[in-house]
Structure 1
Amino acid sequence: MGITCLVRWKNATGMRDFTYIAEHVTKTLHGRNGGPWSLTMKMYREAGAVQRQGKDGKVMYQVALGQQPGQLYCMIDGGVVIEAEKEMESILSRLKNIWQLRQSITIEGTSFDIDDFTLRVANILVGSTYKGLLLEIDYHPCFVPHNANDLFREFVESILPPSAQLSCDYDYSYEKVGLSNQEFTSAHTGYQYMMLFKKDGLL
């Protein structure tokens, strides 16, 4: 699997910039189209007594990655990231008195294979509002978090124009949420999504 880096191109302009990246990757960097990919982000809010007291209650983020079918990654209020089976969604739907679904976003895009990298690109739509371009970058030869930060920066600079306004983080505190600082997993990617969407107010 390797390690992953997420970037949001905040001031991208929709399909024009999506096409710009696709053409640059395939024509200049000789990348190959790897086909479609998708992910779903959901936000649940705690229901019941806490809310009735005038408080918002706890928030749970949930990520389903297209490249990991059958798995979900969840985090409540910045706590430990847990991995669960897909069936958890149907369980939550029956626990509406505990958790209420407040927002759900499905993002669909295209993946590209470029030497040791896989680049996944998609437009972000929250409802009907455009929120920029999402880039998910996998670097396959490395398995240790934080060991390829400079390489990710160089890669991002090679595919995006200098005018691009970016939202990204290269140094996550994985141990705070129960994840390893020695071996990267899909749960690390899920955590990056939760933090990006939370920080940028996308959910």
Structure 2
Amino acid sequence: MSESAPRPLRIGILGAARITERALVAPARSGGHRLVAVAARDRSRAEAFAAAHGVGRTHGSYAELLADPEVEVVYNPLANGLHGPWNLAALAAGKHVLTEKPSASNSVEAREVLEAAAASGTVFMEAFHYLFHPVTRRLHELLASGELGELRRAEALVAIPAPAPDDPRWSLSLAGGALMDLGCYGLHALRMLAPFAGGAPRLVAARAGERAGA
């Protein structure tokens, strides 16, 4: 007897962020999952997003969405500085959480999210999607097998065109900046090599530059 198909997930979206269409809407549809609700502080934006992407209904606040009993999974694509607080709120509401990276703004907040996720009994996942790419999986297979010998050195480089000067990803108050927005990918990738490198990396030196006007 063949196993039954997995039940579609019922997903609620916090905010009408630009990244949501590519990062969530298309994959959810291809997987047969349901977008049941979207919330935005400006309800008209939520309504426009729902109409464009076939979302079931809208809420005028993030708290309303978390209280929606039909929502079982919350996707959090808000500005970096809002990831931690709303991840904590979603976990407290008993929802599974898929959060854009980084999952928190600083180490104190990250520890709170980690502990809340561990205690929640739900699934919490940070959207470092590269980890599931066949190239990354093959790399880890090669390292695990020893086929290429021992890992001696690893470098990570991540580069994209710079956001516009007024883009919120530059905002310090919103936990923006090159490291939080993009560099976290490189750090995450290096940390994922820990099983093959004798343990997690440790900080030896760091360098940063200040962006004029930011």
The TM tier, using the shorter chain, reads under 0.3
Comparing both structures, which one devotes a greater share of its residues to helix?
A: 2
Q: Highest Rg: 1 or 2?
A: 2
TM-score normalised according to structure 2 size = 0.24
TM-score, normalised on structure 1? 0.24
Q: Which has a greater percent of strand?
A: 1
